[in-house]
Amino acid sequence: MTKVAVWCRHAEDNIIGIGPHIPWHIASDFKRFKRITTGQNIIAGEKTYESFPGRTLPERDIYVLTFNADYEVSDPGHHFVVTNIQNFKDMEGDFYIAGGASVYKAFMSGSARLLPDIIVDSVYRGELAPGLSGPRIDITPCVETMLKNYRRMSAEYELDNVVTSVWVKRGDFVEQSVLKRIIQAIEEE
C-alpha cells in the first residue's frame, strides 16, 4: 500500500484554504490533480468532500473521513465513510490524500504507519484571491515535517506560477511504479 499526499499551498504562509475556498483558481493545477488521481482511491475530509462539485470526483473512489458514522455520501457505490483514520494502516491498495488541512495533519502527526510515503508538493507563488471571508487554513506543521523527514525525488516543475515537486519519506522503500506514474502525470503538462 502506498499513501500519497497531494496539495497545493501558498508560498511562505502555507495557506491551502480560506473558509471553504481554495484562494486561487489555476486550471493547470486542477488538471494536474486530476491526472495524478484519476482511477485511484482518494481520501478527503468531510469539508473537502462537501466542496467537490456534486460531492464527487469522477472515476475515483472516495474515502470520506468523518466522525459521523451516519454521514451520507452522494454515491454509496464508490464513496465510503471512514470514522477511524487508523483503519488506513491496514487497507490494501494505494491512497491519495486530498486534504483538507485537518486530514493532512492527522496523517502527518500520527503514527509512523500513517505518514504518506510520497508527497506531491505544489507551491503557488501568486497573490491570494481577494474578498474571501473565513479562517485562513494552513498546513505549516505538515510542511515542516516534509522538510525534515522527506527528500525531494524529482525536478521542480513550474507552470502558471505553481512549482511542483515530489518528495519521498527518508530511509523507506517506496513503490517505484507509483513514483514513476506520478512523475509522468506531472511531466505531461
Ligand X SMILES: NC(=O)c1ccc[n+]([C@@H]2O[C@H](COP(=O)([O-])OP(=O)(O)OC[C@H]3O[C@@H](n4cnc5c(N)ncnc54)[C@H](OP(=O)(O)O)[C@@H]3O)[C@@H](O)[C@H]2O)c1
Binding site for ligand X (CB under 6 A): 7-8, 16-17, 20-22, 45-48, 51, 65-68, 83, 85, 98-103, 106, 137
Which C-beta is closer to ligand X: that of 22 or that of 143?
Answer: 22
For the bound state, the minimum distance from the C-beta of residue 69 to ligand X, rounded and expressed in Å, comes to 10
SS3 at position 189 = coil
For the bound state, the minimum distance from the C-beta of residue 127 to ligand X, rounded and expressed in Å, comes to 15
Residue 52 DSSP one-character state:
S
Q: Which three cell numbers stand for residue 151?
A: 527528500
Which C-beta is closer to ligand X: that of 53 or that of 171?
Answer: 53
Classify the phi-psi angles of 144: left when phi > 0, otherwise alpha if psi is within -120 to 50, otherwise beta: alpha
Contact present, 18 and 136 (Cβ < 8 Å)? yes
| Residue (of 17, 167, 185) closest to 100 by Cα position | 17
Q: Which three cell numbers stand for residue 70?
A: 451516519
For the bound state, the minimum distance from the C-beta of residue 47 to ligand X, rounded and expressed in Å, comes to 3
Contact present, 82 and 65 (Cβ < 8 Å)? yes
Contact present, 104 and 141 (Cβ < 8 Å)? no
Which C-beta is closer to ligand X: that of 140 or that of 177?
Answer: 140
Query: Are β-strands 136-138 and 15-18 bridged in parallel, bridged antiparallel, or unpaired?
Result: antiparallel
CA-CA distance, 80 to 189, in Å (whole number)? 31
Which C-beta is closer to ligand X: that of 111 or that of 177?
Answer: 111
For the bound state, the minimum distance from the C-beta of residue 23 to ligand X, rounded and expressed in Å, comes to 8
Which C-beta is closer to ligand X: that of 156 or that of 177?
Answer: 156
For the bound state, the minimum distance from the C-beta of residue 173 to ligand X, rounded and expressed in Å, comes to 26
